[in-house]
Structures are given as C-alpha cells and as structure tokens.
Chains A and B, each alone.
Chain A
C-alpha cells in the first residue's frame, strides 16, 4: 500500500517523526570518514550536479538544468524516504512536503514567520541557526552539524559548524500558488534545447529558470539562502521538504495531463545521456532505476492533496 505524504506545517505527528529521522540518519557514521548516511545524500547531490551532460559543456548536469531534474530528485526523495522509514522502523512513514506556495500567498513579512520556521518545526534563520531541532550554534559534534559543503569552485570540502540560513536575505518573497498553478497548467514536459531557456515547459518553469528567474524551486533555495545556496544544499533538511513540494507539482501535472509524455524519448542523441526516458539515473548505487521508472509512482506514495496547485 502506498504511503501518504503530508504537509509538515499542519501535521504535528509527521513533523516530529521527520525531525527524529533526520537526527538518526545524521548519527549513522562511517568511521573511515566521519560522514553519516545523511551526509552521503549531500555528497551524492553534489556529484550529480558536477557531472556535466555532455561533458563538453558546463550547464546541463546529471540532475539539473535539463529534463531529468524532476525524475532524478524523485529518485533521491524515494531513497531518502526509504532510509527514514528504516531508522524510524515505520514502513508507513511518508516524507512530508512544505507547501511554500501557500506561504508565498502571505504578505512578505508574514512569510518569514510562517509555521514551518517555528522552533517546533524547522527552526528559523541565522548564521548559525539558533532555534529549532537543528540549531547547534556551538558546533557540538553530537548534535546536528554540517560536516561537508561545497566551496566557490563547487568542490567538496569538510566542515564542522552549525546550519546556516539567511531567510529573505537575497530575495523577499516565495513563489505563489497562482505561479504554481500556471506551471502545472503547461501541457509540455520539456522541449529542445533541453536547457534553461524555455518559458513554456513544466520542467524548466518548475525548476525556476524561466520566466523572471529565480522562480519556483530555484526561488525557494535563494529565499532561504545560507546552506540552501551552494551545491551542498541538502545540508538543510528543508531541502527535501522543498523538493517534495516540487514533486507534488509534477504529480499534479500528471493528474492534469495523464497522457502527456516525458521528453526526451529513448532514441534522443547520446549528448542527452542521463536525461533520456530509458537512461539509468545517476547514482551512488550499482543498481539504479531508469528515468522511466520514476513516471508512475502511485504504488509507492501519494500526496494528501493536490487541489491547491491544480
């Protein structure tokens, strides 16, 4: 039976389990490196971002700025959800989402005070964050701590510090529900040139490259700032809540256009490796699924509602 993914801002039980699960994954340490299972997801995300597809250019990579953006992150979330279920010993646990579009409908000064940033949810802003379950201003190694990050070159480097956020520091507002609905209303999944320039395709608009960047997913990263800014952005547990809402938009689009196809197809040129329908997703596992495996997930999970974005 599929698990149900719920809104973290309104469901206290799933909120408590999510926090507990994150802290447990942070405590599972590889003794050789001192990095945890949670940190491995951060590293995997960085590796995918720096895998250029094709390697002769510097824009599209194995997880972003191209068609595979939605399937690859769906795969990442499924692995994460599976790991959370394992450490929580709860097969019914569904990864929560943060409906940032609903907070984006609030006046700007209220967006920064929305329930998701309260001390009993994700905590607030700061460098380092000083409130909530992931606050660790003294960099106590036994608490939630950032152990790996990317530098200005995009290279992975070790760290040992508390989580940082700069909420509304670089941009004042979140995406709105009207913008989310407009994205879901686009009937094309993607189109040539499979990059960051289309204003008429679901993938590129939801990723946030057009129109008026940063939009949607990108805008959420920029709005939160701090550890959500660099390639190591999964360091902030809110990363996964953001992407779960992004995934919810894709699920809404699938409901609205059940016959619309994922593009590019299996016969697209080799320069689109990792992005074609039958390509294996970039992974740290030897047994990785294909893009096509990520299209129909109704047997794995469902969302409690799609109504607000349809």
Chain B
C-alpha cells in the first residue's frame, strides 16, 4: 500500500456515523458447539462437543469452543485458553460479576443476559 492511499481507507465521517446507534449482535446456538475432525490409523474421526452451562439454575448461552488439544475458549474473554470448561466459566463469572448477581440492587441497571446499561466494574 502507498501512503497516499491510506486516507481513502480511513475516512473520519463514516467512522463516527457507524456508531449512530449501538449495533445489536446476535449469537447463534452453533457457537456453543465444536466439532473436531482428524484421522487416526486409517479412521476418519469426528468429535462434537456441546456445552450446557447453568448458573444458579439458569441456562446461560456462553460462546464456548474447544480446540484440538482440548483447551476451552470463549469469545466473552477472547484471549484466554484454559484447560477445562470449569476454569473458563469461573473466569467468565470473575470478569462479569454484574451479569450473575443473584439479587440486583433496586434502581441499578445492569448488563447481562438482556443487554442494557452496565455500571459494573471489570475484575
């Protein structure tokens, strides 16, 4: 790329216009399923992994994936790669405590499963 071309790829007005409203991002159920395929001694093998996570009795649809070496990852905390689903769920709860408050304080609006306005802190 030449330097004179950069400006055409980085206009300022469309950048600010792109946040005229907050985009709503939807997740599909497939984001909770991983399929690992590999060959072993002439066999074609496929392992499908699906997680069902409940917190305080409520099903939560974390985006969880498992890599070929068995590490578990989540787009909620996209740079973590942990050795078990237990560890990744604990880490998500630690990072988003406001999403899992058992009883929300009156008058406080939180994020979490329904979106909205969060005043919680990052841990």
Contact = CB atoms under 8 A, between A and B. Distances in A.
A86 B12 contact: yes
Contacts of A52: 31
A227 B122 contact: yes
Interface residues of A, number: 85
Contact of A49 (B30, B78, B120): B78
Contact of B76 (A64, A222, A225, A230): A230
Contact of B12 (A35, A37, A213, A233): A37
A243 interface: no
A221 interface: yes
B12 A83 contact: yes
Interface of B: 1-3, 5-12, 14-25, 27-28, 30-35, 60-65, 67-69, 71, 73, 75-81, 91-93, 95-96, 99-100, 111-113, 115-123
B9 A288 contact: yes
Nearest to A76: B10
A43 B1 contact: no
B121 A161 contact: yes
Given A218-B79, A229-B122, 19 more contacts: A1-B3, A33-B22, A40-B16, A40-B18, A52-B31, A55-B28, A59-B65, A75-B9, A83-B10, A152-B100, A154-B63, A154-B76, A157-B118, A226-B123, A229-B79, A230-B96, A285-B11, A285-B15, A299-B1
Interface string A86-98: 1000000000000
Given A55-B28, A83-B15, A208-B79, A43 B22 contact: yes
Contacts of A225: 122-123
Contacts of B23: 43, 47, 156
A289 interface: yes
B33 A300 contact: no
Interface string A9-28: 00000000000000000001
A148 interface: yes
Residue of A30, A78, A157 most packed against chain B (CB within 10 A): A157
Interface in A16-72: 28, 30, 32-33, 35-37, 39-41, 43-44, 46-47, 49-50, 52, 55-59, 61, 64
B18 A197 contact: no
